[in-house]
Amino acid sequence: MKFDIYKIADNYKLTETERNILEYILKNIDAVLKQGVREVANSNYTSAATIIKLSKKLGYTGYIDMVYRLNFIIKNNKRNQERTSEITSFIAEIEKEKIDSFISMLIKHREDIILITATGFSDPIAEFFWRKMMVLGFKCIKTNSYGVYDTNQIGAAMVIGISKSGETESITKVIDYAAKNKLDIITFTGKPINYMAKRANLNFHILDDKELDDRNITANYFYARVMIVMEYLLDKVMNKL
């Protein structure tokens, strides 16, 4: 299991030594549960007092309290991850070739500028993944500006488009500009056959429960599925990197 303790280290003002100790405990929790504080200290070339100070700094009563509570958090996270298989089961329906192509394209453009475009109910999805890709180190810009796509003066190499219908004019227009400038195009759409899908190098058809509900008056899980698929795909990309 991977651990990212960036915010914990920042919030609790952990030193580099304290951060290394915490990462060691998290990664070796099963072994640490059987060890005393001095054994863990020796493994990290530090003192028992430093580890006890770390436990107090994190709000625990001491070393044992810290280790057992961290173990509970880790085990709980594992159980939660196992449950996600119920939520992500529909991903198995996506062709492996498409997943592999997505991974290859993202790795290919790791150092390039990537544009994300969406509007309406899809816009918050684009906003989320713009932020997510920035955190993952991609050079990502979320924009629907025709000028950006028309001349491509910023030198973008790829565009990701999200649209339930795949026919929204404000998005199809920027996709046309992207195609004209020979950008790689990845789209996520609800309809299997649509304008954006035809223009894309790679299209993911995501189930749209309510194709005839244009204003999204009733519950529609298309947007949630796009987010799940994107999270899954980006995780695959980062594992390759």
Report the pLDDT value the prediction gives residue 203, as an integer from 0 to 100.
96
CATH number, residue 126: 3.40.50.10490
Same domain, 18 and 53: yes
Question: Tell me: the pLDDT tens digits for 165-224?
Answer: 898 999 999 999 999 999 999 999 988 789 999 999 999 999 887 666 667 777 888 999
Same domain, 155 and 221: yes
Q: Is residue 157 part of a domain?
A: yes
Q: Is residue 57 part of a domain?
A: yes
Show the DSSP H helices in the chain as ranges: 6-11, 16-27, 29-32, 37-43, 48-57, 63-87, 96-108, 123-135, 146-151, 169-180, 195-199, 222-240
Structural domains counted in the chain: 2
Count of Cβ atoms closer than 10 Å to residue 70 Cβ: 19
Low-confidence ranges of the chain (pLDDT < 70): 1-2, 80-87, 210-214
Question: Which residues form the domain of 219?
Answer: 89-240
Report the pLDDT value the prediction gives residue 212, as an integer from 0 to 100.
60
Q: Which residue, chain included where needed, has tokens 């899908």?
A: 197
Q: Is residue 233 part of a domain?
A: yes
Same domain, 214 and 230: yes
Q: Is residue 1 part of a domain?
A: no
